[in-house]
DNA sequence: TAGGCACCTGTTTTT
DNA sequence: CAGGTGCCTA
C-alpha cells in the first residue's frame, strides 16, 4: 500500500482543519462543533506526524472515551498508516492506565496480570462484603443502595479524596449518619481492595497517577516515550484523567485536545467541562483552532441548535456554518400528554415512510432523556402499527420470560424450596401443557423423583420426562457441590432443553443475544464468588438495581431507533425526533447525588470554585441539560422533529423552556405537513471492524460457532483441555522469551514454569485434571529435550501484528518466529491437541492467514509455515507462495463479506466433536 | 403568606 | 417508597 502524501493528507480539508493536521508543537486546543469532521482531522494529524514529520509511531498516544471509539480510530487510521498503526498507542484513558501499570509490574503492588473489577464485578465485590463494609442496614432496596454507594466510592476515588482524611474530617462537615457510614465504608473498601489485590476502574487511574507523580523513573520513561498526546472528547474527561494526561505530555507539551464544550454531557459521572474551558488559562501559549463548519446538518437544524446553546453562560462562543445548506424547517409536534405524544409520533413516522420521505425505518431516531422511563407510550404505539423498533436502554433484561425461567431454574437447583410450579411453564424448558399441569398438581419433592417416578406421575411425553430426569440429575450434582460453577448450570440447562438451538432455528436472534448476556453475568459471578452457590447467585441477581440491565437488541434489523440522548452521542440520523420536551423531563428536576463530597474535603488539585460549581451550582445543572438537548438536536442530518406534550400525565405541566430558547412556540398545531427529503448519501457506511485471527479462523470452520462466540459473546464453562492449552501457551511464551533474551533454559526450568502457570488455574482437584497436568508437564519437558536445537533460530516470540485488509483490520499474535537459513522467516504455531483433533481447526488456513498478515507488517519474506504438535512431538510444515497469498486473500474477502452480510449458517463436519457450542447447534441436535 | 394535605412522578452510563 | 409540587385553607 502506498503511503499517503502530504498532499493527500490535506486534501479536501478546510484551512482550519489543515492547521490542526500540520500544527507543529506545543499545546493545541481544537474546538470542534458537531459534524465538523473532527475524527478525520485527528487521524490525519496522527498520520501526518508519522509520515511527514517522521515521528516514531510509538511516540504518539491517542486517547478517546469508549473502547468502541478506539476500535474505530484504529481501523480508520490503518487505512492511512498501514500496519504501522499497531505501533501507536490508541486507547481509552483507562486503557492507557492499564497499559502503564502493566509496563511496570514491579513498581506497584497489583501484580500481573492486573485483576480489574469491571462494573459487575465491583457490584459483586461490594455485595459480597456488605457486612464487612458496615453497610448491612440499607435504606430502601439493597441493589439501589449498593449502586449509590458505588457511585460515591467512585466519586471519592476520582476526586482523589483521601479515605483516612475523609473519616476524620467528615463528621465536622456533615451530620448525616448515612454519609458518615458511607465514608467509613469507603475506607474499609479501599483496604479490602488493597488486601485482595483487585483494582476498580477509578483505582486504575488513581494508581497510574500516583506512579507518574511519585516514581521518577516511571515518569521519565513514559514522558520520554510519548512526544505527542492527542486527546479526543476532552470535554468529557474528569479531573484525575486530565492530570494524568498533563503529566504524560509535560516535557514538550505537545498536547492536542479535541472536543466541544457544548457537548459535555457526563457531568453526573465526574466529567468536568472545566478541563476544556480552562485549557487556554492553564497553557497560555496554547494555540486555539475552531472547526466551525458543520458537514452534517441542514441549516434550519444548525440555527435552532445554535440558538439554544447560546443560552449557556460558560462556553466558547462560536458561529457554525451549515455546509449542506438549506433544508426543511424544524417540525414541532404538540400533544395532550405523553400517551398522546406516543400516538402522534408513531403516526408521523408512519407518514414519513408512506410518503417516501424516508426509505427505511432505521432512518429515524427517537431520542429521550430516559428510554427506561419515557419511551413506553411510543413503543406501544409503534407496536400497534406494526412498525419495528429497537429500544436501547430499556432496562428490560429480566422481563424476558426465558431469562426469568433460567434464573428461577438455577436458583431452584440449589435451593429447592424456592421452587414454584409456574417455574416449569416457560420457553426454556418448553414442556407440554399436560406435563406442566401434572407437575403443578404434584405436592411432593420433584427433585426426589427418578425417571420411573416421573412416569408414575403421569408424565407421558418422552422428551419432557428425560429433560426432567436430566434436571434431577443436575440437582444431585449441585447438592453434592460437584457442579463447579454457575456457568456449568446455564450450559447444562440450555444444552439439555435445546432452547438455544430452537431459537437459532426460528431466527430468534434476540433470545440468543440475551442468553449470551446472561452467561456473561454468570461468568462474572463465578469469577468473584468461588462458591458457585446458586443461592448466592440468586441473591446477587436480586441485589442488582431495578431495571439496571438492558434487553440486548439485534443491531441489524431495519427498525426505528429509540434511544437515550447519551447513546446517540457521536452518531447521526437523517431524521431525529427529540421527544418529551416538557418541563420535568428535559430539563428534568435536578436530584443531587445521594452521598455528596463536601468541596472543602477535595484535595488541592481541584480549584475550589470549579469543584463547587461542578457539584452544586443549579445553573450548571441546567447548562448540562441544555447541552444534552443540544447533542440531541445536532444528531439530525435532514429533518429535526421536536415533540412537546402539554402535560406528562394528569398533572399540569409546561412545555420545555428550551423551546422558547430555540425561538419556537409550542402552539397547538394539527398534524404538520411532511417535507420531502433528499437522503442521497446519508446512509451510515457499514462499520469496518477489527477481527482477531482466531475469530476469522472460527468463521472459516463454522459461521454459526463464530456467531455464538464472537457476535453473541457466549461465555462457556472452561473445558479442562482449554486450561491445559492456556498453561502450555504461557509456559512456552515465557520459555521462548528467555531464549530470546540469551539466557539458558533446561527441562527443569520448563517444568517450573509450567507449574507456575498451571497452579492458579486448577481450583477443583480431580483425577482428570491430574492427568492433564502430567500431560502438559511431560509435553513441555519433552519439547525442550527434543527441540532445543531450534532455539538458536528464534527471532520473535508472541509477535503481534495487524493487517489492514481491504474490508477491515485483522489483528493477531504469532507464537514463534524462527529465522531460516535462506533468510526467510518461519512462522510457528503450537497446538496442544493431538493430530486427530487438529484437522478440525484448520491450522494450515490459520498459518496462511498469519503469513499474509505478517509479511505485510514486518516487510520480510515468509518462507515456511509450521504447526508444532506438542502431543505428537512433531512438526508439520508448508511452503508459502504467491499463489497461496492470492488464495488466502480471496478467502479472507469472502469471510468478511459473509460476516458483513450476517450470514451465519452452521457448517457441520468432523470438527463438531470438538465444538463447545455443539449442544446449541440446530444441525447437531436435530440428528440426535 | 404560611402550613398542611393530597397527589404525582420517577436520569443519563463508560471504563 | 419518598420527596416534591400544587392547591386549598386560614
- Full 3-state SS string of A689-705: CEEEHHHHHHHHHCHHH
A269 touches strand B (CB under 7 A): yes
pLDDT computed for residue A612 by the predictor: 47
Specify whether the CB–CB gap between A321 and A291 falls below 8 A: no
First-to-last CA distance in chain A? 50
| A763 pLDDT more than 60 | no
| Per-residue pLDDT tens over the stretch A428-439 | 999 999 998 888
Burial class (CB in 10 A: 0-12, 13-18, 19+), A711: buried
Highest mean pLDDT pick, A387-396, A521-530, A687-696, A892-901: A892-901
A577 phi-psi bin (left φ>0, alpha ψ -120 to 50, beta other): beta
What nucleotide is nearest A625 when CA is compared to C1'?
B12
What's the pLDDT band for A928 if we cut at 50, 70, 90? very low
Closest CA to A374 of A580, A528, A230, A519: A580
Q: What's the Å distance between residue A174 CA and nucleotide C6 C1'? A: 32
What residue is closest to C5 (Cα–C1')? A651
Q: What CA–CA distance (Å, rounded) separates A793 from A686?
A: 43
Q: Considering only CA atoms, give the Rg of chain A.
A: 30
Question: Between A891 and A144, whose confidence is greater?
Answer: A891
Q: What's the Å distance between residue A229 CA and nucleotide B6 C1'? A: 59
Q: Which helix (H) or strand (E) holds A774?
A: helix A767-787
Q: What's the Å distance between residue A273 CA and nucleotide C4 C1'? A: 30
What's the pLDDT band for A562 if we cut at 50, 70, 90? very high
Q: What's the Å distance between residue A648 CA and nucleotide B6 C1'? A: 18
Eight-state DSSP code of residue A418: G
How many CB atoms are closer than 10 A to CB A507? 10
At residue A122, the 3 state secondary structure works out as: helix
Highest mean pLDDT pick, A230-234, A557-561, A662-666: A230-234
Grid cell at residue A85: 498503526
What would the mean pLDDT of A443-466 be, rounded to a whole number? 83
Q: Could you tell me which residues are beta bridge partners of residue A389?
A: A560
In chain B, which nucleotides are within 7 Å of a protein Cβ? 7-15
List of A residues 103-162 with CB within 7 A of strand B = 118-119, 151
Q: What's the Å distance between residue A478 CA and nucleotide B10 C1'? A: 41
Q: What CA–CA distance (Å, rounded) separates A480 from A468?
A: 19
Burial class (CB in 10 A: 0-12, 13-18, 19+), A673: exposed
pLDDT computed for residue A503 by the predictor: 96
At residue A885, the 3 state secondary structure works out as: helix
pLDDT computed for residue A293 by the predictor: 95
A652 touches strand B (CB under 7 A): no
Grid cell at residue A337: 400528554
A566 touches strand B (CB under 7 A): yes
pLDDT computed for residue A664 by the predictor: 82
What would the mean pLDDT of A689-701 be, rounded to a whole number? 91
The two beta strands, A331-335 and A636-645, are parallel
* Alpha-helical regions (H) of A682-766: 693-701, 703-706, 720-740, 747-758
What nucleotide is nearest A200 when CA is compared to C1'?
B15
Q: What's the Å distance between residue A593 CA and nucleotide C3 C1'? A: 14
Percent of chain A with pLDDT strictly greater than 90: 51
Q: What's the Å distance between residue A593 CA and nucleotide C2 C1'? A: 15
Q: What CA–CA distance (Å, rounded) separates A141 from A452?
A: 44
At residue A254, the 3 state secondary structure works out as: coil
Q: What's the Å distance between residue A268 CA and nucleotide C8 C1'? A: 38
| A733 pLDDT more than 90 | yes
Question: Between A686 and A456, whose confidence is greater?
Answer: A456
In chain C, which nucleotides are within 7 Å of a protein Cβ? 1-2, 4-7
List of A residues 364-403 with CB within 7 A of strand B = 369-374, 393
The chain-wide mean pLDDT, for chain A, equals: 87
Q: What's the Å distance between residue A655 CA and nucleotide C9 C1'? A: 30
Question: Between A112 and A391, whose confidence is greater?
Answer: A391
Q: What's the Å distance between residue A158 CA and nucleotide B14 C1'? A: 14
Question: Between A283 and A595, whose confidence is greater?
Answer: A283
SS (H, E, C) A136-161: CCCCCCHHHHHHHHHHHHHHHHHCCC
What would the mean pLDDT of A469-496 be, rounded to a whole number? 90
What would the mean pLDDT of A897-913 be, rounded to a whole number? 89
**Which pTM was predicted?**
0.89
A567 touches strand B (CB under 7 A): yes
Q: What's the Å distance between residue A773 CA and nucleotide C5 C1'? A: 69
Q: What CA–CA distance (Å, rounded) separates A666 from A659?
A: 7
| A245 pLDDT more than 90 | yes
What would the mean pLDDT of A873-889 be, rounded to a whole number? 90
What residue is closest to C3 (Cα–C1')? A591
The two beta strands, A198-200 and A293-294, are unpaired
| A831 pLDDT more than 70 | yes
What's the pLDDT band for A650 if we cut at 50, 70, 90? low
Rounded to the nearest 10 degrees, how much is the dihedral formed by the CA atoms of A849, A851, A857, A861?
-160
Q: What's the Å distance between residue A652 CA and nucleotide C6 C1'? A: 10
Question: Between A555 and A661, whose confidence is greater?
Answer: A661
Rounded to the nearest 10 degrees, how much is the dihedral formed by the CA atoms of A879, A882, A884, A888?
130
Q: What's the Å distance between residue A133 CA and nucleotide B15 C1'? A: 24
Least confident range from A317-321, A395-399, A575-579: namely A395-399
What's the pLDDT band for A270 if we cut at 50, 70, 90? confident
pLDDT computed for residue A145 by the predictor: 82
Q: How many helices (H) and strands (E) does chain A have?
A: 39, 22
Question: Between A450 and A49, whose confidence is greater?
Answer: A49
For cell 475552531, the residue is A290
Question: Between A345 and A4, whose confidence is greater?
Answer: A345
Question: Between A59 and A653, whose confidence is greater?
Answer: A59
Q: What's the Å distance between residue A175 CA and nucleotide B2 C1'? A: 28
Specify whether the CB–CB gap between A257 and A231 falls below 8 A: yes
Reply yes or no: is the peptide bond before residue A595 cis, omega within 30 of 0.
no
Q: Could you tell me which residues are beta bridge partners of residue A258?
A: A30
Eight-state DSSP code of residue A130: T
Grid cell at residue A795: 527471532
> Which whole-number Å values give the CA distances from A719 to A488, A499, A715, A724, A910, in the listed order?
10, 21, 12, 9, 19
Q: What's the Å distance between residue A655 CA and nucleotide B1 C1'? A: 29
> Which whole-number Å values give the CA distances from A189 to A150, A195, A365, A544, A601, in the listed order?
10, 10, 42, 19, 19
Closest CA to A521 of A537, A534, A533: A537
A631 touches strand B (CB under 7 A): no
Nearest 5°: the CA angle A871, A873, A874 is 120
What residue is closest to B7 (Cα–C1')? A651
For cell 480510530, the residue is A73
pLDDT computed for residue A492 by the predictor: 93
Q: What's the Å distance between residue A60 CA and nucleotide B11 C1'? A: 37
Q: What CA–CA distance (Å, rounded) separates A573 from A366?
A: 10
State the helix-helix crossing angle for A119-128 and A534-543, rounded to 10 degrees: 110
What's the pLDDT band for A772 if we cut at 50, 70, 90? confident
At a 7 A CB cut-off, the residues bordering strand C are A 139-140, 589, 651-652
A585 touches strand B (CB under 7 A): yes
| Per-residue pLDDT tens over the stretch A400-413 | 999 999 999 998 88
What residue is closest to B8 (Cα–C1')? A651
pLDDT computed for residue A244 by the predictor: 95
Q: Count Cα atoms within 13 angstroms, Cβ side, for A81.
A: 29
pLDDT computed for residue A672 by the predictor: 57
What nucleotide is nearest A91 when CA is compared to C1'?
B15
At residue A767, the 3 state secondary structure works out as: helix
pLDDT computed for residue A598 by the predictor: 63
Specify whether the CB–CB gap between A538 and A418 falls below 8 A: yes
Phi and psi (nearest 5°) for A593?
Answer: -55, 150
Percent of chain A with pLDDT strictly greater than 70: 91
| A91 pLDDT more than 90 | yes
pLDDT computed for residue A59 by the predictor: 96
pLDDT computed for residue A231 by the predictor: 96
A65 touches strand B (CB under 7 A): yes
A594 touches strand B (CB under 7 A): no
Give residue A715's Cα distance to chain centre: 15
SS (H, E, C) A615-662: HHCHHHHHHHHHHHHHHHHCCEEEEEEEEEECECCCCECCECHHHHHC
Q: What CA–CA distance (Å, rounded) separates A113 from A97?
A: 14
Least confident range from A77-86, A228-237, A366-375, A756-765: namely A756-765
What residue is closest to C1 (Cα–C1')? A140
Amino acid at each position: 500500500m502506498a503511503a499517503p502524501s502530504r498532499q493527500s493528507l490535506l486534501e479536501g480539508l478546510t484551512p482550519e482543519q489543515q492547521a490542526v493536521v500540520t500544527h507543529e508543537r506545543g499545546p493545541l486546543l481544537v474546538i470542534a462543533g458537531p459534524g465538523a469532521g473532527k475524527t478525520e482531522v485527528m487521524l490525519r494529524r496522527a498520520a501526518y506526524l508519522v509520515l511527514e514529520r517522521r515521528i516514531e509511531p510509538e511516540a504518539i498516544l491517542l486517547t478517546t472515551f469508549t473502547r468502541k471509539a478506539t476500535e474505530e480510530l484504529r481501523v480508520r487510521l490503518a487505512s492511512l498508516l498501514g500496519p504501522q498503526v499497531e505501533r501507536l498507542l490508541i486507547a481509552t484513558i483507562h486503557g492507557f492506565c492499564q497499559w502503564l501499570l502493566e509496563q511496570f509490574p514491579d513498581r506497584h503492588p497489583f501484580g500481573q496480570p492486573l485483576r480489574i473489577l469491571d462494573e459487575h464485578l465491583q457490584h459483586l465485590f461490594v455485595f459480597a462484603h456488605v457486612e464487612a463494609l458496615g453497610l448491612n442496614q440499607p435504606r430502601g432496596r439493597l441493589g439501589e443502595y449498593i449502586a449509590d454507594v458505588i457511585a460515591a466510592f467512585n466519586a471519592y476515588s476520582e476526586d482523589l479524596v483521601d479515605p483516612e482524611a475523609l473519616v476524620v474530617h467528615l463528621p465536622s462537615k456533615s451530620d448525616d449518619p448515612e454519609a458518615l457510614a458511607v465514608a467509613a465504608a469507603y475506607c474499609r473498601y479501599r483496604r479490602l481492595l488493597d488486601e485482595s489485590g483487585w483494582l476498580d476502574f477509578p483505582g486504575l487511574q488513581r494508581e497510574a497517577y500516583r506512579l507518574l507523580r511519585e516514581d521518577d523513573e516511571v515518569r521519565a520513561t513514559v514522558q520520554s516515550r510519548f512526544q505527542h498526546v492527542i486527546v479526543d472528547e476532552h470535554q468529557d474527561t474528569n479531573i484525575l484523567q486530565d492530570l494524568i494526561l498533563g503529566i504524560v505530555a509535560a516535557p514538550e507539551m505537545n498536547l492536542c485536545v479535541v472536543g466541544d464544550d457544548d457537548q459535555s454531557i457526563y457531568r453526573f459521572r465526574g466529567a468536568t467541562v472545566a478541563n476544556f474551558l480552562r485549557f487556554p488559562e492553564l497553557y497560555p501559549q496554547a494555540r486555539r483552532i475552531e472547526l466551525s463548519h458543520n458537514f452534517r446538518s441542514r441549516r434550519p437544524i444548525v440555527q435552532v441548535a445554535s440558538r439554544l446553546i447560546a443560552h449557556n453562560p460558560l462556553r466558547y462562543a462560536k458561529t457554525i456554518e451549515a455546509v449542506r445548506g438549506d433544508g426543511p424547517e424544524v417540525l414541532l409536534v404538540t400533544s395532550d400528554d405523553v400517551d398522546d405524544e406516543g400516538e402522534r409520533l408513531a403516526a408521523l413516522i408512519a407518514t414519513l415512510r408512506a410518503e417516501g420521505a424516508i426509505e427505511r425505518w432505521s432512518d429515524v431516531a427517537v431520542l429521550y432523556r430516559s428510554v427506561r422511563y419515557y419511551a413506553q407510550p411510543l413503543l406501544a404505539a409503534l407496536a400497534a402499527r406494526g412498525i419495528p423498533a429497537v429500544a436501547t436502554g430499556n432496562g428490560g433484561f429480566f422481563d424476558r420470560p426465558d431469562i426469568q425461567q433460567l434464573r428461577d431454574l438455577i436458583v431452584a437447583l440449589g435451593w429447592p424450596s424456592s421452587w414454584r410450579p409456574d417455574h416449569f411453564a416457560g420457553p426454556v424448558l418448553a414442556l407440554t401443557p399436560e406435563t406442566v399441569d401434572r407437575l403443578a398438581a404434584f405436592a411432593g419433592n420433584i427433585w426426589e423423583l427418578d425417571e420411573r417416578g416421573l412416569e408414575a406421575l403421569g408424565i407421558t411425553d418422552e422428551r419432557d420426562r428425560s429433560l426432567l430426569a436430566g434436571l434431577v440429575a443436575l440437582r444431585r450434582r449441585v447438592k453434592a457441590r460437584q457442579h463447579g460453577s454457575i456457568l456449568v448450570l446455564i450450559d447444562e440447562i440450555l444444552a439439555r432443553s435445546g432452547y438455544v438451538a430452537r431459537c437459532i432455528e426460528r431466527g430468534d436472534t434476540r433470545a440468543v443475544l440475551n442468553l449470551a448476556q446472561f452467561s456473561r453475568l454468570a461468568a462474572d459471578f463465578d469469577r468473584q464468588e468461588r462458591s458457585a452457590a446458586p443461592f448466592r447467585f440468586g441473591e446477587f441477581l436480586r441485589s442488582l438495581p431495578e431495571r439496571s440491565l438492558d434487553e440486548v437488541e439485534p443491531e441489524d434489523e431495519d427498525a426505528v431507533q429509540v434511544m437515550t440522548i447519551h447513546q446517540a452521542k457521536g452518531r447521526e440520523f437523517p431524521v431525529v425526533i427529540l421527544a418529551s420536551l416538557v418541563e420535568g423531563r428535559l430539563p428534568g428536576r435536578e436530584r443531587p447525588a445521594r452521598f455528596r463530597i463536601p468541596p472543602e474535603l477535595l484535595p488541592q488539585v481541584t480549584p475550589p470554585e470549579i469543584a463547587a460549581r461542578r457539584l452544586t451550582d443549579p445553573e450548571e445543572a441546567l447548562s448540562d441539560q441544555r447541552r444534552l438537548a443540544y447533542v440531541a438536536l445536532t444528531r439530525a442530518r435532514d429533518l429535526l422533529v421536536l415533540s412537546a406534550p402539554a402535560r406528562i400525565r394528569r398533572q399540569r405541566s409546561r412545555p420545555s423552556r428550551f423551546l422558547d430558547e430555540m425561538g419556537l412556540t409550542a402552539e397547538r398545531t394539527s398534524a404538520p405537513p411532511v417535507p420531502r427529503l433528499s437522503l442521497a448519501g446519508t446512509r451510515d457506511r457499514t462499520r469496518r471492524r477489527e477481527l482477531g485471527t482466531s475469530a476469522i479462523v472460527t468463521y472459516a470452520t463454522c459461521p454459526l460457532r463464530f456467531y455464538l462466540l464472537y457476535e453473541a459473546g457466549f461465555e462457556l464453562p472452561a473445558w479442562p483441555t482449554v486450561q491445559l492449552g492456556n498453561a502450555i501457551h504461557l509456559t512456552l511464551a515465557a520459555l521462548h522469551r528467555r531464549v530470546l533474551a540469551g539466557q539458558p533454559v533446561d527441562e527443569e526450568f520448563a517444568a517450573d514454569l509450567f507449574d507456575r502457570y498451571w497452579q492458579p488455574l486448577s481450583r477443583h482437584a480431580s483425577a482428570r485434571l491430574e492427568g492433564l497436568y502430567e500431560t502438559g508437564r511431560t509435553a513441555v519437558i519433552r519439547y525442550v529435550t527434543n527441540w532445543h536445537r531450534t532455539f538458536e533460530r528464534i527471532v520473535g516470540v508472541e509477535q503481534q501484528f495487524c493487517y489492514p485488509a481491504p474490508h477491515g483490520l485483522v489483528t493477531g499474535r504469532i507464537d514463534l518466529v524462527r529465522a531460516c537459513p535462506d533468510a526467510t522467516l518461519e512462522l510457528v504455531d503450537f497446538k496442544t491437541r493431538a493430530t486427530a483433533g487438529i484437522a478440525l481447526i484448520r491450522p494450515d488456513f490459520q498459518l496462511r492467514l498469519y503469513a499474509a498478515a505478517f509479511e505485510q507488517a514486518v516487510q520480510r519474506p515468509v518462507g515456511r509455515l509450521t504447526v508444532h504438535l506438542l502431543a505428537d512431538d512433531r512438526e508439520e510444515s508448508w511452503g508459502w507462495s504467491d499463489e497461496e497469498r492470492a488464495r488466502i486473500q480471496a478467502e479472507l474477502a469472502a469471510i468478511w463479506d459473509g460476516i458483513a452480510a450476517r450470514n451465519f449458517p452452521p457448517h457441520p463436519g468432523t470438527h463438531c466433536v470438538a465444538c463447545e457450542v455443539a449442544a446449541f447447534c440446530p444441525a447437531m441436535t436435530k440428528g440426535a
